[in-house]
Chain A
Amino acid sequence: MAKTVMIVDDSLFVRNVMRGVLNSREFEVIAEAGSGIEAMRILHDRKPAIILLDIILPDANGLDLIGPILAIQPHVKIVVCSTIGQESVFKKALDLGAMAFIPKPFTPEKIIEVLDSLGG
């Protein structure tokens, strides 16, 4: 069965590219959100297996969302997306409960590589 994914990013371009990449593999994008508020609202109804979470959102810092997301859905795997060179951000995200990190600007290959590394 396809693994379900939710994409949280304020750029429609980024969301579409990610969706294109994921849908071409054994992933199914079941939800997209363009802001932190929208993401939290959606998570009350939908239960994705994986969340791709951008750090810079118009209404929130992605890092601040990790805790609240895990509070609603403790088993979801959060993958944080951020710019290369922000090791401190990555480390902080891991401390908060994220599972992996996709450096931006991303390539389609990198997204697949990271998601595959998450395992079942």
Chain B
Amino acid sequence: MDMSQYRNLFISESRGHLASFNELIVQLERDTENRSLVDELFRHAHSLKGMAATMQFDWIAQLSHAMEDRLSSLRNGESSFSPAMADLMLEGSDLLCSMVDALECGNNPPADISDLLNHFSDFGKVSSPLGNTPAAPPDRSTPQLSTSEYSTTSRQPHQFRQTDSFKSVRVKTELLDHLLSITGELMTTHHILLEKASQNTHAAIEQPIRQLASLIRDLRDEVFHARMLPFAFIAERFPRLVRDLARKHGKEVELLIEGEECELDRGVLEEISEPLIHILRNAVDHGMETPDERVASGKPYNGVITLAVKREKDHVNVTVSDDGRGIIPAIVRGKAVARGLLSPEAASELTDSEILMLVCAPGFSTAEVITDISGRGVGMDAVKTAVHKLGGILSISSEPGKGSLFSIQIPLTVSIIHALMVRCGALMVAFPLNSIERTIELTKQDIHEQDGGKVCTVEGKSVPIKNLNRMLGQPLPRKNGHIVPALLAKVSGVLVALLADEIRGQQEIFIKPLGIPLSGMKWCSGGTILGDGSIVFVVDLSELS
């Protein structure tokens, strides 16, 4: 019988087992006496072995058999769980992942896995006399695999519940992207139709257009819904990541994840994954103290990092909080001035939370700074850029000695946003609504000169004024003395008032990426077409200077 037709199913189901396996090992490390975790681990190894044997993928069957044996002796109480055993199990599952990846790419199996197999069979004999020793056992170092050409990172596709097999279909993500794009075009076409209809007075078409609008809304909602994935989809690898990092640095860190059932657009998940890894990595590497330091300062031996996801009305809040050493604003302030990012006067005017945001400024993080301020600068500018690209907001708060909180507010979807439409000269631009604090109106009397620049006073604070027209290369408004509308927004953590010609109001828009040469405009994250056919550029404030 030709088994190759089952190969893809084997690959996706194996990945599901291995993902669960990794997760369970990390859980078992926290809860070593939990028998049901061992049973479940056994079941995954067992299922994988059976499947591999049926497919005659002997090397996968052998390795999962060896892992199953280890788990079996754990189950029978013949051996006990130790950190070294966790390392070995994870190493085994990494190798299995890369074997499955290799299968998918059509590569050959690894030449020799006998070293690792021997290690599995010898393992019990070495470690059982050590019993439950909490300190690092001497056999902690596991052998280096001879199969280094196999990538140990594995992609884990969305696993459908297998019992739903008759009720669900697998579709390629490109299809979902395509559906979303068509829906966006439909919305635009509807706006155009509406515009045209308003010029005619055919009452007969009003009703069908209204109905069309309602159908498009339904379609949009369903397409969004189909693109949603639970946060767990990206979070399932985080416990492993934190565990490995913590062990590497001799730290004891527990990662708690809350709200992983919360659903987000897969595009958003894809974009938010790397920034979160950056933040988690920083939290473990630099935010967290060693156990000795912690105990010395009266803290619990284990550090805790909490990753929480919470759905608000039309956005999602993702927070990473740690109970580590925190960030001291005075040090950040000093460094920012020393690096020439801002003048001492400007630095002294910033609030502590504004100061903390400076760690995200490009050029802030260097190796030297890292050691000095516990390295919060590592890749933080990249994190901020990624969050902004999504139309999200990053904020940081910290209490020295107690810990830090990184908070990311992101929209539920990537391509359809609420935007504020603003006219500057001949140009119409859109600002994601969440990037604007509020709009104000200024008269000539409100604007003063200060330090060679113009400022206005908002709630007793002096706010620098910038002219959007100038920033966007448009002619300056001719009529002075009139009331000038302005947007209050934070640019690089500093509140500024952006003068514009006219604020047109709020609209839901479908953002399309721009092609060459327009994509070269850094300040523009995309474009959209309005009902009257005009093109609107979406402004990325973080890139506008």
Contact = CB atoms under 8 A, between A and B. Distances in A.
B165 interface: yes
B43 A14 contact: no
Contacts of A106: 50, 54
B51 A14 contact: yes
B47 A35 contact: no
Interface string B47-87: 10111111000000100000000000000000000000000
B165 A105 contact: no
Interface residues of B, number: 22
Interface in A18-56: 20-21, 24, 32-35, 38, 56
B1 A21 contact: yes
Select the residue from B6, B43, B163 with max chain A CB neighbours within 10 A. Answer: B163
Contacts, number: 55
A21 B5 CA distance: 12
Contacts of A34: 161-163, 165
A106 B9 CA distance: 17
Contact of B5 (A20, A33, A104, A105): A20
A96 interface: no
Select the residue from A10, A13, A33 with max chain B CB neighbours within 10 A. Answer: A13
Interface string B36-47: 000000010011
A15 B54 CA distance: 12
Residues of A in contact with B, size category: 20 to 34
B163 A108 contact: no
Given A21-B1, A56-B43, A12 B50 contact: no
Given A20-B6, A24-B1, A104 B165 contact: no
Contacts of B1: 20-21, 24, 108
A83 B5 CA distance: 24
B99 to A, nearest CB: 16
B162 A10 contact: yes
Contacts of B51: 11, 13-14, 105
Contacts of B53: 105
Contact of A12 (B3, B46, B54, B165): B165
A12 B9 contact: yes
B10 interface: yes
Given A24-B1, A32-B165, A13 B49 contact: no
The 6 tightest CB contacts between A and B, nearest first, are A34-B163, A105-B53, A105-B50, A12-B162, A108-B1, A13-B13
22 contacts: A10-B162, A11-B13, A11-B47, A12-B162, A13-B9, A13-B10, A14-B51, A14-B54, A16-B9, A17-B3, A17-B54, A20-B1, A32-B166, A34-B161, A34-B163, A35-B163, A56-B43, A83-B46, A105-B49, A105-B53, A105-B54, A106-B50
